[in-house]
């Protein structure tokens, strides 16, 4: 699942897939803005079939935390 999330993130920010880790911070490390996060939430919903409001990113701040959140929602 982490790999799929990294793939999606790579369509928003120009970073190498392999340079993204579970600990990468979405805003501070990867540079995603609130607009990116909004679109990311939509793509994650489509990919994993879970409801993910952009507001979740106030507390879900890393790539690994997204994976954990999806697991909890499933």
Residue among 10 and 22 whose Cβ is closer to other proteins: 10
Cα dihedral 43→38→67→1 (10° resolution):
20
18 interacts with other proteins by CB under 8 A: no
- Tell me how far, at minimum, the Cβ of 22 lies from other proteins, in Å: 20
Dist. CA 35–CA 23, nearest whole Å? 21
> Residue count at the site for other proteins (CB under 8 A)?
21
**Short-list 37, 42, 38, CA closest to 63:** 37
Residues in the site for other proteins, rule: CB under 8 A?
Answer: 10-14, 27-28, 33-36, 38-43, 54-55, 58-59
């Amino acid at each position: 699942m982490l790999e799929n999330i990294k793939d999606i993130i790579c369509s928003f920010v120009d970073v190498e897939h392999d340079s993204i880790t579970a600990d990468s911070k979405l805003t501070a490390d990867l540079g995603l803005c609130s607009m990116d996060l909004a679109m990311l939430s939509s793509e994650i919903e489509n990919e994993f079939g879970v409801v993910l409001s952009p507001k979740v990113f106030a507390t879900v701040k890393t790539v690994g935390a997204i994976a954990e959140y999806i697991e909890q929602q499933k």
